């Protein structure tokens, strides 16, 4: 079984000074925790600083978003090659804030997944339902559509190059995390869908992270939930000690 993957998504937070300090604190606190795979996703402006702060450690760097073209007249955008160049190994794709606040469609997200894979970046592909979708019993259908479009036409071998994240929109930044049972249920559905498309062996080898109001106090129980292989942490990853606690609890 793979090690748990813990991703800190800093979103639009952090000056250069703050980012560098936070990364150094996480690095220091991780000494001895060899079983954790930790990824930091700072804003674009801080990527270089964070890269310097984590150089030589096992922490990996991720972008929070990318454009699907590799270069050109796309004001305000950043390509997969640029993220690679600055030291990223992964990139978050399809985060619900991108889907909902910036109106990214399933098709846009699919193009971003392809672009990151082509550049040798591992996409962290996020899927999740809104509260209204859950309340109307459409969770499975929404996840199936989001995954189906993003993975359309992929070869079996590609699937191990992707990390998956279930992030219910109603749980992100609200303080209301999914219960371990709710997470397990949707993770099982995601794995079923992967199995249908790519076969049992591939589906079992995939990591599916949970994200949405993860804190030190709920990290342990969420990680114990069946089918949860890691955590995508937003707000709580901005506090070094809390993030480190989350990592420690995911390992216990």
Q: Total residues contacting ligand PGA (rule CB under 6 A)?
A: 13
- What whole-number distance in Å separates Cα of residue 213 and Cα of residue 224? 16
Cβ-in-10-Å burial (0-12, 13-18, 19+) of 111 comes to middle
Near ligand PGA by CB under 6 A: residue from 148, 173, 196, 241: 173
* Choice between 158 and 239, CB closer to ligand PGA: 239
Print burial letters for 59-80: b (CB count within 10 Å at least 16), e (below 16).
Answer: bbbbbbbbbbeeeeeeeeebbb
Residue 93, beta-bridge partner list: 125
| Cβ-proximal residues to 68 (8 Å cutoff; 6+ apart), any chain | 80, 108, 111, 112, 114, 115
Q: If binding is defined by CB under 6 A, does position 8 make contact with ligand PGA?
A: no
Least CB distance to ligand PGA at residue 183 (A): 13
Near ligand PGA by CB under 6 A: residue from 123, 168, 180, 211: 211
| Residue 97-136 contact track with ligand PGA, rule CB under 6 A, x = bound | ----------------------------------------
Longest Cα–Cα distance of the chain, Å, equals 48
Whole-Å CA distances, 113 to 169, 196, 252: 20, 20, 32
Q: Which residue is nearest to ligand PGA (CB)?
A: 234
Per the annotation, the verdict on 167 as an active-site residue is: yes
* Choice between 49 and 99, CB closer to ligand PGA: 99
Least CB distance to ligand PGA at residue 191 (A): 20
Near ligand PGA by CB under 6 A: residue from 129, 133, 167, 242: 167
Three-class SS state of 178: coil
Per the annotation, the verdict on 97 as an active-site residue is: no
Q: If binding is defined by CB under 6 A, does position 43 make contact with ligand PGA?
A: no
- What whole-number distance in Å separates Cα of residue 146 and Cα of residue 9? 21
Q: Return the residues of window 226-245 that contact ligand PGA according to CB under 6 A.
A: 232-236
Alpha-carbon torsion angle 242, 244, 249, 250, nearest 10: 120
Choose, from 97, 129, 167, 242, the residue flagged as catalytic: 167
Residues taking part in catalysis: 95, 167
Applying CB under 6 A, which residues contact ligand PGA? Answer: 9, 167, 172-173, 211-214, 232-236
């Amino acid at each position: 079984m793979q090690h748990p993957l813990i991703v800190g998504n800093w979103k639009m937070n952090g000056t250069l000074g703050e980012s560098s300090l936070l990364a150094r604190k996480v690095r220091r606190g991780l000494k001895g925790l060899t079983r954790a795979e930790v990824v930091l996703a700072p804003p674009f402006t801080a990527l270089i600083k964070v890269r310097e702060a984590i150089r030589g450690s096992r922490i990996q760097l991720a972008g929070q978003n990318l454009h699907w073209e590799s270069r050109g007249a796309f004001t305000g955008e950043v390509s997969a090659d640029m993220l690679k160049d600055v030291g990223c190994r992964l990139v978050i794709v399809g985060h619900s804030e991108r889907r909902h606040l910036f109106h990214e469609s399933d098709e846009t997200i699919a193009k971003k997944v392809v672009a990151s894979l082509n550049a040798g970046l591992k996409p962290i592909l996020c899927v999740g339902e809104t509260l209204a979708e859950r309340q109307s019993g459409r969770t499975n259908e929404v996840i199936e559509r989001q995954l189906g479009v993003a993975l359309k036409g992929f070869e079996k071998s590609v699937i191990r190059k992707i990390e998956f994240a279930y992030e219910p929109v109603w749980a992100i930044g609200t303080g209301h995390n999914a219960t371990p049972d709710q997470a397990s249920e949707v993770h099982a559905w995601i794995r079923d869908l992967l199995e249908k498309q790519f076969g049992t062996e591939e589906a079992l080898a995939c990591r599916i992270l949970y994200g949405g109001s993860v804190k030190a106090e709920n990290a342990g129980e969420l990680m114990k939930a069946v089918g949860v292989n890691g955590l995508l942490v937003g707000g709580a990853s901005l506090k070094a000690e809390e993030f480190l606690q989350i990592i420690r609890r995911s390992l216990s």
